[in-house]
């Protein structure tokens, strides 16, 4: 009996889902973080993040210059995390780009969990791998451009959507909307493109 229990624990630790997630994270770290300190950075966004890291006002409004007289040309949500990294670790290519890399890795895992909820573990790992290995996303991840954190927010939208559609609770739908709002703070109107899909899924999901 004791031997059977130990065997069950061994199966639990080394099932496909667990191993798949570990492999997904390892691949993400290699694709997104390896040698990132030598990555390409945009000096315009680098100046924005450096200014945002100086004080709370610059941080909130997305100041382009240290004095806070000029703001970024878009909502600064995608640069809040890099500004925190720069504040903690100092200004460097690594601190500018590491948040994007970590966001992409997290997005691949979140998408895997979301797809597993509505399909299977294999489909979830495959979906996460697609996120982690999409060439244009990997390329953008290894810069300090805002798209990677936007993708992370959309992944959170997808995860919240699976809960909202399964439970059919208005509170969960509102929570889903809050994630869309955060995505808007990262990349503005592009985030709203997901609303038609959410509306159709909500209307045609079977009520229990």
Q: 130-180: per-residue pLDDT in tens? A: 999 999 999 999 999 999 999 999 999 999 999 998 888 889 989 999 999
Residue that is written with structure tokens 């667990």 in the block: 18
Q: What would the mean pLDDT of 10-17 be, rounded to a whole number? A: 66
Confidence class of residue 201 from pLDDT cuts 50, 70 and 90?
A: confident
Q: 45-79: per-residue pLDDT in tens? A: 999 999 999 999 999 999 999 998 998 888 899 99
The pLDDT value given to residue 38: 83
Burial string for 146-171 (b: 16+ CB within 10 Å, else e) reads bbbbbbbbbbbbbbbbbebbeeeeee
Q: State the Cα–Cα distance between residues 164 and 167, nearest whole angstrom.
A: 5
The pLDDT value given to residue 4: 52
Burial string for 127-144 (b: 16+ CB within 10 Å, else e) reads bbbebbebeebbebbbbb
Closest C-alpha among 42, 76, 80, 78 to residue 154: 78
Contacts of 84 (CB under 8 A, 6+ apart): 53, 99
pTM of the model: 0.86
The pLDDT value given to residue 57: 94
């Amino acid at each position: 009996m004791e031997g059977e229990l130990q065997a069950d624990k061994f199966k639990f630790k080394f099932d496909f889902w667990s191993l798949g997630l570990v492999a997904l994270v390892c691949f993400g770290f290699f694709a997104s973080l390896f040698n990132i300190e030598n990555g390409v950075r945009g000096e315009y966004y680098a100046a924005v993040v450096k200014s945002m890291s100086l004080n709370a006002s610059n941080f909130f409004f997305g100041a382009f210059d240290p004095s806070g007289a000029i703001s970024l040309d878009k909502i600064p949500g995608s640069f809040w995390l890099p500004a925190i990294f720069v504040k903690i670790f100092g200004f460097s290519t690594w601190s500018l780009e590491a948040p994007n890399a970590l966001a992409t890795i997290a997005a691949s895992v979140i998408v895997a969990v979301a797809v597993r909820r509505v399909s299977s573990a294999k489909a979830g790992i495959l979906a996460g791998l697609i996120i982690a290995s999409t060439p244009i996303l990997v390329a953008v991840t290894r810069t300090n451009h805002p798209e990677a954190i936007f993708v992370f927010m959309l992944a959170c939208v997808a995860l919240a959507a699976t809960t909202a559609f399964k439970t059919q609770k208005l509170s969960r739908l509102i929570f889903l909307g809050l994630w869309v709002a955060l995505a808007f703070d990262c990349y503005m109107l592009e985030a709203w493109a997901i609303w038609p899909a959410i509306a159709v899924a909500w209307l045609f999901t079977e009520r229990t």
